[in-house]
Chain A
């Protein structure tokens, strides 16, 4: 009896399995033939001259949103506007005036990275995103 194995409702089962495999392999065919390296970030002349960010590059990469959170908290709740980093350098804790002073190329820096990982910070609802250009 077991010798003549057959699939019942073959059409429907095969159609279901094809849909399953297409869904499961989505990342493979969606990105077919694309290389997707991390976006190249442009540093402004000013940033290049300064050489270092507020924290080390590794810390900034993973933790800049938490740094911004700390800055926001100290300015808005504690009226504390000066930040001293690990190497003793002082910064005025401001999103638009400090971060975007060095990184005034927001579109080629913050946004590029954020688009790559699909995050859209709501900060720009209120904060001016490019003070330099706004002044012109």
Chain B
């Protein structure tokens, strides 16, 4: 047991109860269905922009790109053009690859003592794999959700749906019936990857030691979102047409509450609202932060271009020329060498 993840888990359970009891018990459909979602999207958008503007106002004194290869140098030394970018074009390519493939995480190593206390490194790809699966699945789920937010549903949303449901699993028992509606892999991958990333933080002692409540909370929240979504799709069977009428009402600013939708839908929606509102103030801002990191967005060109530190304070200097000008006579008297004779 650990206070940090228990705290986050309890927080998510309380959020669940709030939404469920608020809707099923107190009938606060308008609050949880309309007011909170609108507030959340506003907080998310404004908060996100505010954080980025705030970061953009912080001067970067030095070129500090992380370099992972040979710098551009003499013509006969072949440079690592992308891993040690010398131009803005190369920076863009490196940034795109980083965002799409998490290359820096791919370099993750584990340290380890062999027999006889020989220090060695081990390739550790699980974090990379888990993180990549998690983020891509999240993206696929979000794009698929646009079917609720667009009419007519754009063709590229349908492409993602088709791709995502290529794996048809249909089985049928007395208590479990899976197959219609079809399985969307991304939802399940999202849940599995989030659970893996959570267990990693709970089980590996070193990772647990550096994990804070702020690391656990979004994971529990996203697991809650995925569980409630999966429950709706495969088990509870919500009135999808009613839900789409509701979401279309939200985005066309004519909100209305659907008739036969269960509390779990409002839980799902409330979890998402909390995630959105929490986003700008949390570590989740790495979504915007990656673009603002000086270790990633600068070209390593300090040998070819002069970069003046924007922090530089106008220091009053006394150059040697001025010094000699002032003391030339005395210097010559004392027999010291001068650059310019009298």
Chain A residues with CB under 8 Å of chain B are 5-10, 13, 16-17, 20-21, 24-28, 30-32, 34-38, 58, 61-63, 65-66, 68-70, 73, 77, 113, 115-120
Contact = CB atoms under 8 A, between A and B. Distances in A.
B338 to A, nearest CB: 40
B252 A62 contact: no
Interface string B280-303: 000000001001000000000000
A11 to B, nearest CB: 11
A25 B45 CA distance: 9
Interface range on chain B (Cβ under 8 Å from partner): 35 or more
Given A31-B251, A69-B172, A118-B147, A13 B237 contact: no
Most chain A beta-carbon neighbours within 10 Å: one of B41, B58, B172, B251: B251
Contacts of A119: 181
A27 B153 CA distance: 11
B12 to A, nearest CB: 24
Contacts of A30: 149-150, 154
A119 B238 CA distance: 15
B3 interface: no
Given A26-B146, A61-B239, A65-B180, A38 B45 contact: no
Given A118-B153, A118-B161, A7 B56 contact: yes
Contacts, number: 108
Given A62-B240, A66-B237, 14 more contacts: A5-B57, A7-B56, A8-B57, A13-B53, A27-B251, A31-B251, A32-B252, A36-B248, A37-B248, A65-B181, A66-B180, A115-B152, A117-B147, A117-B240
Contacts of A35: 252, 254
A103 B340 CA distance: 106
B34 interface: no
B177 interface: yes
Given A35-B254, A38-B244, A16 B60 contact: no
A118 B288 contact: no
A37 B245 contact: yes
5 contacts: A7-B53, A7-B57, A9-B56, A13-B56, A118-B157
Interface in B212-260: 237-242, 244-245, 248, 251-252, 254, 260
Contacts of B59: 8
Most chain B beta-carbon neighbours within 10 Å: one of A6, A36, A63, A73: A36
Nearest to A20: B48
Contact of B180 (A58, A69, A116): A69
A12 to B, nearest CB: 9
A75 to B, nearest CB: 12
Q: Please name the 7 residue pairs, one residue from A and one from B, whose CB atoms are nearest each other, closest first.
A: A27-B149, A36-B151, A65-B180, A118-B153, A27-B251, A118-B147, A36-B248
B77 interface: no
Nearest to A77: B172
Contacts of B146: 26-27
A21 B45 contact: yes
A115 B158 CA distance: 11
Contacts of B49: 17, 20-21
A16 B56 CA distance: 11
A69 B174 CA distance: 12
A20 B172 contact: no
Nearest to B276: A24
Given A16-B291, A73-B172, A117-B244, A8 B45 contact: no
A71 to B, nearest CB: 11
B248 A31 contact: yes
B179 interface: yes
A10 B56 contact: yes
Interface string B147-169: 11111111001100100000000
Most chain B beta-carbon neighbours within 10 Å: one of A25, A27, A65: A27
Interface in B111-167: 146-154, 157-158, 161
